[in-house]
Amino acid sequence: MTRIGVVVFPGSNCEYDAVAGVSQLGAQAELVWHSQTDLSAFDGIILPGGFAHGDYLRPGALARFSPVMEAVARFAAEGGPVLGICNGFQVLTEAGLLPGALQKNRGLTFLCQPTTVIVTSTHSVLTSGAILGQELVIPINHFSGAFTCDDATLKTLEDNGQVVLRYKDNPNGSRDDIAGVANLAGNVVGLMPHPERAMSTLLGSADGRVLLASFVTANVPAA
């Protein structure tokens, strides 16, 4: 059975939801306190949503110095699947494990709403099981979710198929409608929408399943 570690920083709040999400798909999930430095027991790591360290300073700015982050970096360097959801995405960019940065939303308000995202690359642990061009209804829930990067970075991301998800109707001013990006190898992915909140029609959408299912069975396809 796939074992997923869900990292908990003080201030994280979507850790139980992430556990619930991957557990539904048959994975065995476990919370990992941020002071832990050994991730060898896991087949995949999730950095969940929330407000690690209160999001003080900047989202992810303090969390990236947590002891667990060195272990996450090693895990990622060895090709292990790493997924940052929302705050987790912010932490991964601050830690330099993913390119770009996440700025305040264009409208300067927090936004919790459903969005439609389009799968724009299947070369990642999150999207390998999805179909290119597939539209998924997945909620967002963030204040600082506008992806930004310089022109050169954007070009690299596009050339390498690292933009994995785009908003159909950009809610937050994200550059090029980007909702999620991967590293070059495709094993580290961050996205602002919350796939774990879209796991059942009782709660409005089950479209997140295809993403988390890819992650749980993570095999990075060749480019």
Residues near another protein (CB under 8 A): 10-11, 13-14, 16-17, 20, 33, 50-51, 53-58, 61-62, 65, 93-94, 100-101, 103-113, 139, 141, 143, 146, 148-150, 173, 194, 196-197, 199, 201-204
User: Per the residue annotation, which of 34, 86, 94, 123 is the catalytic one?
Assistant: 86
Known catalytic residue at 94: no
| Nearest approach, Cβ of residue 177 and another protein (Å) | 14
| Nearest approach, Cβ of residue 90 and another protein (Å) | 10
| Nearest approach, Cβ of residue 131 and another protein (Å) | 26
Torsion of CA 55, 125, 67, 34, to 10 degrees: 60
* Contact (CB, 8 A) for 192 and 89: yes
Q: Kindly list the distances between the CA atom of residue 115 and the CA atoms of 18, 166, 172, 216, in Å, as whole numbers in the listed order.
A: 19, 10, 11, 23
- Output 132 or 203, the one with its CB closest to another protein: 203
- Output 12 or 124, the one with its CB closest to another protein: 12
DSSP assignment string, 68-120: HHHHHHHHHHTT--EEEETHHHHHHHHTTSSSSEEEPPTTSS-EEEEEEEEE-
- Output 104 or 168, the one with its CB closest to another protein: 104
Which positions are catalytic? Answer: 86, 194, 196
